[in-house]
A and B are shown apart, each in its own frame.
Chain A
Amino acid sequence: MEPVIGWTLRVALSLLFAISAWEKVQGFSKFESAMRDYELLPRKLVSIAARALVILEGVVAVALIVTPWAGVGVLGLLAVYCIAIAINLARGRTEIDCGCGGTESKPLSGLLLIRNTLLAIAGLGVLLPISARPIDGQDIFAIGAAVTTISILWSAGGQLSKNARAVRTMEGTR
């Protein structure tokens, strides 16, 4: 794997998990109640599991910078989320909050599954061995610029999905 691409994936995923973990710490009670709404775990376990997930996200965020094996953690977490979301979509419970972090709730949808699958592909990319080409200043610039662009486009994507929901609500009231 070309080092610029490999490192871009690692840094971008690390940022994503770090922000996600931070948001979940900030709104921990909200995250806990979202997990309860998933109705997958016995009530007593939800609190422990929620803490474990937040810690795991933080660990994965740091590990991504240290070792490519962190890709395994990325895949594991995403697999858990995908299964949990898929089960509730199958139950038809689209109205519950996805617990993705952030101050606003976000309903479950197939889009979340697609999003997580794309992230999992990036996680697989992290696992590929990085070729031993020496990294120069220009590579570092390219990695930084690519991560910046990905972050901005990620927020734009989030905003777009929020807009799409607003449009659907409007059409529903017409």
Chain B
Amino acid sequence: MTESQLVSHYVLWALVVGLSAVVLVLTRQVGILHERIAPAGALALSSGPEVGEPAPHVDAHALDGTLHHFGALAERSTSQLIFFVSPRCTVCRELQPVVRSITARNNVQLTFASDGDELDHDSFISTHQIDRGDYVVSKELGTQFGIAKLPYAVLIDEKGIVRAQGLINTREHVESLFEAQALGVGSVQEFLQSKEEHSDSKEVHAHGLA
């Protein structure tokens, strides 16, 4: 072998090893990205009914006087999302158009639930053009569902069974509730846990789609 061939031989090998190292690092980074973008979802904090349990039976008046029945005894044609808000909570205000559009798209009846001072609610409702008949003020509702933090949402199906619930701070969180209902998983914690248990197994989404 001539000297120039020899040099090229060594240089090429160095480049091949270097390139494959770059490929390895890149695949690792793709792997890390996948871990980072694991599904974000609503955190279930409630001390109230758990997912799969019937919702507690509560009767409460909306601001316009309509009586709303919540819970397993109330027959309805569509699912219902109870969106626990407070007029003073900034995230609730920011999130309410998102919640409205998502519930409308999923054909789910949206009910706002709050408690506290009447005057606050009036200004909240008029600013955001919420139907007075969809806005329930009831301390009992929040207590029965064990709401500790706002904004909190509880998704109840036609039969009055709690299908998903959680603290919601972003659009992804709201969507995760419907995702959870569709997948038959209670919360994002439960989903991630089941994912860990079957770690990397194809079964996860096979179950998920079922």
Tell me, yes or no, whether B98 is within 8 Å of chain A by CB.
no
Distance between A155 CB and nearest chain B CB, rounded to angstroms: 6
Distance between B106 CB and nearest chain A CB, rounded to angstroms: 16
- We find that the number of chain B residues with CB closer than 8 angstroms to chain A is 35
Type the 1/0 row for A102-118, where 1 means its CB is closer than 8 Å to any CB of B.
00111100000000000
Stretch at the interface among A38-46, A56-64, A145-153: A145-153
In the complex where A163-B30, A169-B195 touch, is A156 in contact with B24 (Cβ < 8 A)?
yes
Type the 1/0 row for A38-74, where 1 means its CB is closer than 8 Å to any CB of B.
0000000000000000000000000000000000000
Q: How many A-B contacts are there with CB distance less than 8 Å? A: 86
A95-B20 in contact (CB<8A): no
Tell me, yes or no, whether B117 is within 8 Å of chain A by CB.
no
Interchain CA distance A94-B202 in the complex, whole Å: 8
A107-B202 in contact (CB<8A): yes
In the complex where A138-B6, A166-B34, A173-B39 touch, is A152 in contact with B21 (Cβ < 8 A)?
yes
Which B residues are in CB contact (< 8 Å) with A169?
Answer: 195, 200, 202, 204-205
Which B residues are in CB contact (< 8 Å) with A104?
Answer: 199-200
Tell me, yes or no, whether A140 is within 8 Å of chain B by CB.
no
Distance between A135 CB and nearest chain B CB, rounded to angstroms: 15
Interchain CA distance A152-B26 in the complex, whole Å: 12
User: In A105-161, which residues have CB < 8 Å from any B CB?
Assistant: 105-107, 138, 141-142, 145-146, 148-149, 152-153, 155-156, 159-160
Interchain CA distance A160-B21 in the complex, whole Å: 14
Which A residues are in CB contact (< 8 Å) with B27?
Answer: 156, 159-160, 163
Which A residues are in CB contact (< 8 Å) with B16?
Answer: 145, 149
Which A residues are in CB contact (< 8 Å) with B208?
Answer: 172-173
Distance between B173 CB and nearest chain A CB, rounded to angstroms: 15
Interchain CA distance A138-B13 in the complex, whole Å: 12
Which A residues are in CB contact (< 8 Å) with B24?
Answer: 152-153, 155-156, 159
Interchain CA distance A148-B20 in the complex, whole Å: 9
- Name B's interface SS: helix
In the complex where A138-B9, A153-B23 touch, is A163 in contact with B34 (Cβ < 8 A)?
yes
A105-B199 in contact (CB<8A): yes
Smallest CB gap from A162: residue in B: B31
Which of A104, A106, A165, A169 counts the most B-chain CB atoms under 10 A from its CB? Answer: A169
Which A residues are in CB contact (< 8 Å) with B198?
Answer: 95
Which B residues are in CB contact (< 8 Å) with A145?
Answer: 13-14, 16-17
Tell me, yes or no, whether A170 is within 8 Å of chain B by CB.
yes
Which of B23, B199, B200, B208 counts the most A-chain CB atoms under 10 A from its CB? Answer: B200
Interchain CA distance A163-B29 in the complex, whole Å: 10
B205-A173 in contact (CB<8A): yes
Which B residues are in CB contact (< 8 Å) with A162?
Answer: 31, 200
Tell me, yes or no, whether B101 is within 8 Å of chain A by CB.
no
Smallest CB gap from A158: residue in B: B27
Q: Given A145-B14, A148-B17, A171-B205, 5 more contacts at CB 8 Å?
A: A138-B1, A141-B10, A149-B17, A152-B24, A156-B24
Q: Name A's B-contacting residues (CB within 8 A).
A: 94-95, 104-107, 138, 141-142, 145-146, 148-149, 152-153, 155-156, 159-160, 162-163, 165-173
Chain A to chain B: the 6 pairs with minimum beta-carbon distance, closest first = A172-B205, A166-B34, A159-B27, A145-B13, A156-B24, A152-B20
